[in-house]
Structure 1
Amino acid sequence: MNITKTSNIKNICCIGAGYVGGPTMAVIAANCPDLIINVVDINIDRINSWNIDDLSKLPVFEPGLKDIVEKCRGKNLFFSSNVEENIANADIIFISVNTPTKTKGIGAGYASDLKWIESSTRTIAKFARNHTIVVEKSTLPVKTAETIKNILLSSDESLDKNVKKTFSILSNPEFLAEGSAINDLQNPDRVLIGGDDNYAINLLVNIYEKWVDTKKIITTNLWSSELSKLVANAFLAQRISSVNSISALCESTGANIQEVKEAIGSDTRIGNKFLNAGPGFGGSCFKKDILNLVYLCRYYGLNEVAAYWEQIVQINLWQQKRISALVIKNLFGTLSNKKLVILGFSFKANTNDTRESPSINISKEFLKEGAELNFYDPKVEKKQILREFDDFKDSKISVSKSALGAAEGADAVLVMTDWEDFKYLDWISIYKVMRKPAWVFDTRICLNREEISNIGFNIWTLGRI
């Protein structure tokens, strides 16, 4: 039985309503009003959050996202837990599920756990109809498309044995940065599509051409596309670890990391992006993708290459331990009976994502030293913060609704996320309610050091004496 490949894409289904799937599908819906977009997830609470009337409480905070959701939701953008029906109706299915690092078994601590990818693929194999284009959107190890293809082509789980199904597999990795995701999706540097079915590739190209310049759409084979995503994140993380390593050298020599950054960033061969020193990279991708790359290199016997990339992660962890040790040293070598304020819990500004946030590791070091911690973040909910410290039940941990409220009786304030609001806090009032000597540790280099010092604070700024 011959299957006619669709030439008219009408329905798109995205499996996974998280930080990538939700915003990506919202932008496609906004630019392609003729397409019906269904974002599905087995997490009913998450779907309910996407359908909430109060758009300020969407599960993902991104500047500009709520405006697009308000415009498109209920028209051509839908959020549903009815996975099977939407798979059956879809011409294109994006897989945008979590791929965490394995915690046990072969490759534990390095390799990606693909259980949700496999589960999604088997569900597609069972409920899809006719010809379906399956698109990898999650960040995946090289050759994952081959696994997806094998499952789809060998599956005998079809509900209707008389229905012949065929599949085209494409890789279309995301390159958005949380905190600027909507702008990145609306104005991408490039769109990468990998595959071996030119017809399917062209159908996906046609969708992106609705708002992306054709010159920015790159097509490759599947394996190049999959590897490019891992390598892109590895290179970006490499720059962060590089500048952070130099920030420590600046503190030892009297150089200023901001001046060094400006000097090297003005070289067009280097450029000035991803040269902001700080407490280390976070988020769901960088660490996971580098460790995945390390595992891949070791698998192919490239041990020296693996060791090189693994050091990027080690420097990141070292920077966080270095900062926590420095804070302890300045607070007379002990944190017992001391209260510290942590300003910022998301891994970067303009997002509520806390995955791998530097605030988590540094805060845990403080708790081990007996500190009392009070957190404030303008976008991260209290339960989300407290969830990270389930192993510290006996510690004193609280979450405040304002920076001033958190600072009452505190010995030190640490700026851990570069929220714009933190630059304009009433630091005079904060100083008045703190215990003296009062410290400010600016790990993001976002405060006016002279003004803070003139108020009476002792201030430490990353990357300078």
Structure 2
Amino acid sequence: MRVTVIGTGYLGATHAACMAELGHEVLGLDVDPDRIAALAAGRLPFYEPGLDELITTHVASGRLRFTTSYAEVAAFGEIHFSCVGTPQQPGAQAADLRYVEAVIDSLAPHLERPALVVGKSTVPVGTAERLARRLVELAPVGAEARLAWNPEFLREGFAVEDTLRPDRLVLGLDRTGGPAEELLRRVYAAVLDAGVPLVTTDFPTAELVKTAANAFLATKISFINAMAEVCEASGADVTLLAQALSHDTRIGGRFLSAGLGFGGGCLPKDIRAFAARAEEIGAGQALGFLREVDAINLRRRERTVELARELTGGELAGRRIAVWGAAFKPNSDDIRDSPALDVAARLHREGADVTVYDPQALDNARKAHPALGFAASAVDAATDADLVLHLTEWAEFRTVDPAELARVVARPCVVDGRNALDPDVWRAAGWTYRALGRP
């Protein structure tokens, strides 16, 4: 099929490349000409494992092209995926929908033949119905311009796999069994043939699936971090507690790892927007717990700073501190709401001499926090350090030899903000080891 993807950020670039991989002809659109030029040359403006190979392959084959023209997109495509961002509004909790609305306002006037516009962005419940009316009002083709909602469930670091082999497909439709569902079944034919479950539903339910999923995951993470606070107060070990809980099949072990908490461009802003929207529709009391979920998550960052202060004798000013990690999670260069960088910046504000290392996110971190120091390796960052903070769970940090590292630091002290290092190994190498939620 002839598919267009509007917005070529993280979601859009991934979706465009994977649509081409599934055999479709794809035209991607972005209003940023520099980004379009980079993608057309096969260069990704961000890091995502395996995606650069897909982009390069399908740009070279001619199956994937890019443009800045809405008129070209409207003339080319049978189906148009809207993949733009919905960030948090400045100074508020609600989602900023200006980019989603701009897609409809810019594309609809060019739709002179029947077309399907498919939203993939995370939006407040009720958005799709409003946009569907706007689409019909603005499109020359009128009611033959239809809207569907197909939320994405990508994990950064696994985005290609999650697009080509998702755990489910959700289609929000104005009515099931109609032309919109038929088109989407054709687009995803290879995925459906592989046995991926399909859920067809109305607009509000499709919108809620994504926000509810993120709210649940955030709640599970904050739950185990709340238990970490109790463990610290009682002398218990949260890693053993989580291990015991994980054997209960009703609970499971995924997202039950205590540590510095979640960040990134999805979970934090999505739970805030969800709670804000619930207030607007009169269901605010039902989601009041999400504000505590958010608060627990943010407290972990302050607790990490407190541990650093404790291990440097109560005074951070003038102390040399190495921070391992800048991305909000491993296998990504995304620093949006990164707990690691937030902690690094807090330490710097208290007068510490902070040096950061991350395998992929250093360029982004430098731009966002130019006052911090940066190093080319984990060992370089730790050289002459009074304290090492392990804050993003990159695999390479687990392979560092603590005995070798002890020879280059000023003081062998480490805070494991992700509970991913082996405390016995580090203590045997002479390190003072501390972690969140452990004795």
TM-score class, shorter-chain normalisation, is over 0.9
C-alpha distance in structure 1 between counterparts of 2:158 and 2:142, whole Å: 42
C-alpha distance in structure 2 between counterparts of 1:45 and 1:454, whole Å: 52
Question: CA deviation digits over 1:97-118, x for unaligned, max 9?
Answer: 11111114xxx2x111111111
The verdict on how the C-alpha distance between 1:87 and 1:371 changes in structure 2, with shifts beyond 3 A counting, is farther
Letter aligned with residue 386 of structure 1: R
Q: Are positions 1:138 and 2:121 aligned together?
A: yes
Letter aligned with residue 78 of structure 2: D
Q: Secondary structure at the match of 2:190?
A: coil
Contact 1:128 1:165 (8 Å CA) reproduced:
no
Q: In the alignment, which residue of structure 1 is the partner of 2:132?
A: 149
Deviation at 1:141, TM superposition (A): 0.8
Deviation at 1:214, TM superposition (A): 5.1
* Aligned Cα root-mean-square deviation (Å): 1.9
Q: Secondary structure at the match of 1:355?
A: coil
C-alpha distance in structure 2 between counterparts of 1:299 and 1:26, whole Å: 37
Contact 1:346 1:377 (8 Å CA) reproduced:
yes
Deviation at 1:164, TM superposition (A): 6.3
Question: CA deviation digits over 1:55-98, x for unaligned, max 9?
Answer: 6xx22322222332233223212233334312332111111111
Q: Are positions 1:208 and 2:182 aligned together?
A: no
C-alpha distance in structure 2 between counterparts of 1:455 and 1:295, whole Å: 49
Deviation at 1:223, TM superposition (A): 0.9
Deviation at 1:165, TM superposition (A): 7.3
Partner of residue 58 from structure 2, selected from 68, 72, 92 = 72
Contact 2:246 2:253 (8 Å CA) reproduced:
yes
Partner of residue 114 from structure 1, selected from 87, 94, 97 = 97
Contact 1:20 1:96 (8 Å CA) reproduced:
yes
Q: What is the 5 A alignment of 1:173-212?
A: 173-197=151-175, 198-212=178-192
C-alpha distance in structure 2 between counterparts of 1:143 and 1:348, whole Å: 31
Point out the more displaced range, 308-317 or 234-243: 308-317
Q: Are positions 1:464 and 2:438 aligned together?
A: yes
Point out the more displaced range, 91-100 or 80-89: 80-89
Question: CA deviation digits over 1:149-192, x for unaligned, max 9?
Answer: 23222227x6xxxx767311000000111111122222211000
Q: Secondary structure at the match of 2:407?
A: helix
Q: Are positions 1:355 and 2:333 aligned together?
A: no
Deviation at 1:256, TM superposition (A): 1.9
Q: What is the 5 A alignment of 1:29-178?
A: 29-31=20-22, 33=23, 35-52=24-41, 58-75=44-61, 76-104=63-91, 108=92, 110-155=93-138, 166-178=144-156
Deviation at 1:412, TM superposition (A): 1.0
Q: Are positions 1:344 and 2:325 aligned together?
A: yes
Partner of residue 378 from structure 2, selected from 379, 399, 403 = 403
Q: Secondary structure at the match of 1:440?
A: strand
Deviation at 1:458, TM superposition (A): 1.3
C-alpha distance in structure 1 between counterparts of 2:108 and 2:168, whole Å: 30
Point out the more displaced range, 166-175 or 298-307: 298-307
C-alpha distance in structure 1 between counterparts of 2:217 and 2:196, whole Å: 23
Contact 2:136 2:142 (8 Å CA) reproduced:
no
Deviation at 1:293, TM superposition (A): 1.2
Q: In the alignment, which residue of structure 2 is the partner of 1:13?
A: 4
Letter aligned with residue 423 of structure 1: R
C-alpha distance in structure 1 between counterparts of 2:361 and 2:293, whole Å: 28
Q: Are positions 1:427 and 2:434 aligned together?
A: no
Contact 1:41 1:47 (8 Å CA) reproduced:
yes
Deviation at 1:243, TM superposition (A): 0.7
Letter aligned with residue 191 of structure 1: L
The verdict on how the C-alpha distance between 1:432 and 1:81 changes in structure 2, with shifts beyond 3 A counting, is farther
Contact 1:89 1:129 (8 Å CA) reproduced:
no
C-alpha distance in structure 1 between counterparts of 2:163 and 2:325, whole Å: 25
Contact 2:95 2:123 (8 Å CA) reproduced:
yes
C-alpha distance in structure 2 between counterparts of 1:345 and 1:82, whole Å: 36
- Structure 1: 5+ residue stretches without partners: 1-9
Moved over 6 A (4+): none
Partner of residue 300 from structure 1, selected from 250, 267, 281 = 281
Deviation at 1:215, TM superposition (A): 5.6
Q: Are positions 1:415 and 2:396 aligned together?
A: no
Q: Secondary structure at the match of 1:134?
A: strand
C-alpha distance in structure 2 between counterparts of 1:304 and 1:194, whole Å: 26
Q: What is the 5 A alignment of 1:325-336?
A: 325-336=306-317
- Structure 2: 5+ residue stretches without partners: none
C-alpha distance in structure 1 between counterparts of 2:346 and 2:230, whole Å: 23
Question: CA deviation digits over 1:11-37, x for unaligned, max 9?
Answer: 111111111111122122112x2x211
C-alpha distance in structure 1 between counterparts of 2:5 and 2:50, whole Å: 20
Q: Secondary structure at the match of 1:414?
A: strand
User: Percent identical across equivalent pairs?
Assistant: 32
C-alpha distance in structure 2 between counterparts of 1:254 and 1:454, whole Å: 21
Deviation at 1:429, TM superposition (A): 3.5
